[in-house]
């Protein structure tokens, strides 16, 4: 290829990539649906887009979502093209030179000014600088204090690492590290979970043989730790009450060594459908996915007083996962929190009816808001005198996990490096 043809190719690619990102941001700026879903729809509508171009668009979209409020302040506009350019240059690791072929002279000058200003938000309101909506900024200040809120804001401004869970029924962590290294992927043990691996970079592992045969699963370390609080034993009857796509369900099944009976309940069939191929790969034979209409479904009532362990991974605001789902902070407000806390209390109350004396419920969320966590648990204990709070420290120590966050598991992205989770053990005495 001649140098002129190569230059034309580079120019065309720069224009196409930037145009794709601007179109994606425009489509998603309504913030009316989960970002990952909208992005999948966008890519389906653009089947000719190559893998590298898709990665460019996806990374640009999430960079914009993480920094949406400060980018609008720095750029002085909500125009999607200006926001795309600002996100790429300020936070996407893209130089103006790389974009030069797609820029007008006026844009070049404007973007150079943005680059020179950097991320100087000294004159901006504190919530703008923190890239948080006002309601969440204020609430976090009340619950975390200024320093805690600042640490939280810094921790969610970066992309989440890729965490994996080793399927202990099929392999060991050391074997997995060696196998990944042999395929050019660097992985190190996570700090707390004995099954966790943290992978460097952004390798595409979907077709790696160890994923295809169920020896490895994608699962954040915090999510793995919640399963250890449930601590199901072999041969027990266990329910994952809000199973979703089943990440925690599969971890529970491994802890049970595939012995006993493990029900995976969810109200959305599409979510459970995502569990089925993962379950087939896992080697587990004791998992029974079941769609329920609501928390008072007849399938739930049939198990009343018969179950040893119940996990309630309750629907929540997801504020502990904002590294992965930055759109959530822009799509929710105080009204959503109030609606969710009512739903969480109802689900926990219903799930608790399944547990027999001596059994336990583990209530968990991926939220950092006390009204979704401690307040729900305190309200439950006040109205259910047959239950008492257990101690997460004791259960983790039994599993050989040297982590002490108090009687409840309280994980912080800023402190622990994983998604933020809350989990409380509730033991039924009578």
pLDDT in tens, 243-294: 999 999 999 999 999 999 999 999 999 999 999 999 999 999 999 999 999 8
22 touches 81 (CB < 8 A)? yes
Looking at residue 87, its pLDDT comes to: 94
Cα–Cα distance between 172 and 189 in angstroms, integer?
A: 11
The Cα-based distances of 397 to 193, 223, 358, 410 in angstroms read 12, 17, 20, 15
**CB-based burial label for 321 (10 Å; 0-12, 13-18, 19+):** buried
Q: How confident is the model at residue 119 (pLDDT cuts 50, 70, 90)?
A: confident
Q: How confident is the model at residue 8 (pLDDT cuts 50, 70, 90)?
A: very low
As a whole number of Å, the CA-based R_g of the chain is 23
84 touches 21 (CB < 8 A)? yes
Task: Map tokens 């936070």 to a residue.
Answer: 91
* Region label for 343, one of left (φ > 0), alpha (ψ between -120 and 50) or beta (otherwise): alpha
Cα–Cα distance between 5 and 297 in angstroms, integer?
A: 65
pLDDT tens column, 137-153: 999 999 999 999 999 99
pTM reported for the whole predicted model: 0.93
Q: Cα-flanking dihedrals φ and ψ of residue 320, to 5°?
A: -80, -5
3-class DSSP state of 414: helix
Looking at residue 9, its pLDDT comes to: 54
Cα–Cα distance between 45 and 43 in angstroms, integer?
A: 5
**CB-based burial label for 354 (10 Å; 0-12, 13-18, 19+):** buried
pLDDT tens column, 368-388: 999 999 999 999 999 999 999
Beta bridge partners of 362: 311, 425
Beta bridge partners of 291: 266
CA angle 156, 158, 159 (to 5 degrees): 105
**Segments in 118-172 forming alpha helices (H):** 126-129, 134-155
Which residues form the catalytic set? 366
Cα–Cα distance between 1 and 236 in angstroms, integer?
A: 66
Question: HSE (CB half, 13 Å, CA atoms) of 396?
Answer: 23
In the chain, % of residues over pLDDT 90: 86
**H helix count then E strand count, the chain:** 20, 12
Please compute the mean of the pLDDT values over residues 71-81 and round it to a whole number. Answer: 93
Cα–Cα distance between 266 and 372 in angstroms, integer?
A: 20
Polymer length of the chain: 430
Cα–Cα distance between 237 and 286 in angstroms, integer?
A: 10
Looking at residue 352, its pLDDT comes to: 97
């Amino acid at each position: 290829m001649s140098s002129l043809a190569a230059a034309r190719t580079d120019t065309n690619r720069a224009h196409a990539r930037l145009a794709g990102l601007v179109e994606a941001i425009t489509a998603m700026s309504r913030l009316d649906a989960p970002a990952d879903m909208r992005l999948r729809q966008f890519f389906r509508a653009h089947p000719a887009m190559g893998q590298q171009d898709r990665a460019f668009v996806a990374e640009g979209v999430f960079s914009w979502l993480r920094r949406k409020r400060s980018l609008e302040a720095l750029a002085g506009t909500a125009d999607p093209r200006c926001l795309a350019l600002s996100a790429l240059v300020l936070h996407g690791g893209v130089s103006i030179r790389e974009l030069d072929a797609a820029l007008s002279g006026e844009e070049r000058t404007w973007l150079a000014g943005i680059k020179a200003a950097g991320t100087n938000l000294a004159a901006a309101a504190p919530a703008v600088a923190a890239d948080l909506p006002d309601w969440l900024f204020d609430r976090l200040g009340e619950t975390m204090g200024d320093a805690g809120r600042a640490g939280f804001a810094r921790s969610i401004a970066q992309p989440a690492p890729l965490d994996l869970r080793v399927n202990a029924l099929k392999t060991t962590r050391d074997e997995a590290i060696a196998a990944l290294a042999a395929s050019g992927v660097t992985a190190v043990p996570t700090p707390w979970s004995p099954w966790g691996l943290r992978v460097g970079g952004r390798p595409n592992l979907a077709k790696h043989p160890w994923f295809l045969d169920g020896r490895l699963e994608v699962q954040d370390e915090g999510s793995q730790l919640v399963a250890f609080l449930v601590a199901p034993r072999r041969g027990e009857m266990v329910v994952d009450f809000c199973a979703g796509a089943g990440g925690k369900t599969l971890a529970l099944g491994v802890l049970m060594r595939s012995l006993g009976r493990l029900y995976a309940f969810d109200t959305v069939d599409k979510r459970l459908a995502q569990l089925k191929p993962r379950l087939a790969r896992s080697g587990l034979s004791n998992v029974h996915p079941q769609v329920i209409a609501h928390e008072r479904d007849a399938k739930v009532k049939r198990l009343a007083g018969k179950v040893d362990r119940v996990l309630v991974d309750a629907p929540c605001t997801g504020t502990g996962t904002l590294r992965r789902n930055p759109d959530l902070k822009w799509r929710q407000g105080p009204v959503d929190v109030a609606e969710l806390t009512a739903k969480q209390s109802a689900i926990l109350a219903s799930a608790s009816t399944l547990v027999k004396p001596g059994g336990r419920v583990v209530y968990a969320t991926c939220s950092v808001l006390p009204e979704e966590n401690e307040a729900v648990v305190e309200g439950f204990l006040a109205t259910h005198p047959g239950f008492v709070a257990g101690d997460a420290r004791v259960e983790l120590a039994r599993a050989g996990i040297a982590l002490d966050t108090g009687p409840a598991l309280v994980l912080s992205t800023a402190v622990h490096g994983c998604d933020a989770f809350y989990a409380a053990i509730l033991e039924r005495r009578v």
